[in-house]
Amino acid sequence: MSEKPLSERQKSILAYIHSYVAEHGRPPTIREIGSAVGITSTSVVNYNLTRLKEMGLLERDADVSRGLRLTGELAQAVGSVQTAVAQAISNLVRVPLLGHIKAGEPIEVGHDNFAVYDEEDAIEVSTSMLPGRTNDLFALRVSGDSMIDAMVNDGDIVIMRQDSNARNGDMVAVWLSDDTTTLKHFYHEGDKIRLQPANPTMEPIYVDPGEVQVQGKVMLVLRQMAN
């Protein structure tokens, strides 16, 4: 195995592969690895997997979607690496994926939930990517392109923290009194709330403060990537 120390990113990748295999009995895909450790480019994931292979920490069949396997070299690695990987595994938090939210015009979904969802759906994210408490997080898959200039695209997943308060500029999920919900930047402007899209082709939404309920703030965006 290479004497070159692992980067924090490589430690996170190894930790995620280890925990995923333990839970699912098979290795994750490139897309799943990128989403879990916050890498937006499949080429960057591939680069780090190549480096880990060169270090002798995993074996890889690049022609197979899930062609990864941790090697015995990992178990024989120096204590500091083993400890770092174990710590990274213990720092993973499971965030429930509750459904979809519209980044565009508000859509009718009801007050109590964003969409029909499977309660067992979850996204695994490292706590190092989410400062602060983690017991009130939830995830939503974004539909629409009103927040593209904020690097939130159609199909991305946003990790939200439950919060009924917002500061100007926060990206929030809001419920409106006409039973619609949307993802926008929040601005309190006197007697009106401005819900601002991050897309120059779209107009802001103006509503009375009493007609808006903030349901959560965006803490992290996980980019949609192809396998």
In 138-155, which positions are buried (b, 16+ CB within 10 angstroms) versus exposed (e)? bbbbbbbbbbbebebeee
Q: Distance between CA atoms of 164 and 160, rounded to whole angstroms?
A: 12
Among candidate residues 35, 126, 143, 146, the one labeled active-site is 146
Question: Is 184 marked active-site?
Answer: yes
In angstroms, what CA-CA distances link 63 with 29, 35, 46, 106, 140?
Answer: 12, 21, 12, 42, 32
Question: Which residue reads 């500029």 in tokens?
Answer: 169
- Token code pair at residue 127: 């706590």
Among candidate residues 4, 184, 192, 217, the one labeled active-site is 184
Question: Which residue reads 């009375």 in tokens?
Answer: 208
Nearest of 141, 118, 137 to residue 126 by alpha carbon? 137
Q: Distance between CA atoms of 21 and 23, rounded to whole angstroms?
A: 5
Q: What is the DSSP letter of 149?
A: G
**Which sequence positions are flagged as catalytic?**
146, 184
